[in-house]
Amino acid sequence: MEQARKWLDGASRIAALTGAGVSAESGIPTFRGAGGLWRQFRPEDLATPEAFARDPLLVWEWYDWRRRLIAAASPNPGHAALAEIERRAGAFALITQNVDGLHERAGSRCVLKLHGDIWQVRCTGCGAEKRDDRTPLPSLPPRCECGSLLRPGVVWFGEPLPAGIWAQAEQAASGAEVFLVIGTSAAVYPAAGLAWLAKSAGAKVIEINPEETGLSAAADVSLRGKSGDLLPLLI
Q: Where are the beta strands (DSSP E) in the chain?
A: 13-18, 91-96, 111-113, 116-123, 129-131, 150-154, 178-182, 204-208, 221-223
Interaction between residue 188 and ligand OAD (CB under 6 A):
yes
* Marked catalytic residue, from 79, 115, 204, 226: 115
Question: Of 208, 157, 166, whose CA–CA distance to 184 is shortest?
Answer: 208
- Give the end-to-end CA distance of the chain in Å, rounded to a whole number: 10
What are the backbone dihedrals phi and psi of residue 114, each rounded to the nearest 5 degrees, phi first?
Answer: -65, -35
The residue range among 23-31, 55-63, 79-87, 172-180 that interacts with ligand OAD, by the rule CB under 6 A, is 23-31
Number of Cβ within a 10 Å radius of residue 6: 11
Interaction between residue 175 and ligand OAD (CB under 6 A):
no
The residues that bridge with 150 in the sheet, in sequence order, are 123
Interaction between residue 75 and ligand OAD (CB under 6 A):
no
| Number of shown-chain residues binding ligand OAD (CB under 6 A) | 29
The residue range among 24-32, 128-136, 164-172, 198-206 that interacts with ligand OAD, by the rule CB under 6 A, is 24-32
Question: Of 34, 75, 19, whose CA–CA distance to 209 is shortest?
Answer: 19
Smallest separation, CB 212 to ligand OAD (Å): 9
How far is C-alpha 62 from the geometric centre of its chain's CA atoms?
18
Smallest separation, CB 142 to ligand OAD (Å): 20
Interaction between residue 153 and ligand OAD (CB under 6 A):
no
> Residue 160: which residues within 8 A CB-CB, separation 6 or more?
none
Asked about 115 being catalytic, the answer comes back as yes
Smallest separation, CB 128 to ligand OAD (Å): 23
Interaction between residue 157 and ligand OAD (CB under 6 A):
yes
Residue numbers at the binding site for ligand OAD (CB under 6 A): 19-21, 24-25, 30-33, 36, 43, 47, 97, 115, 155, 157, 183-185, 187-188, 208-211, 213, 226-228
Report the catalytic residues: 115
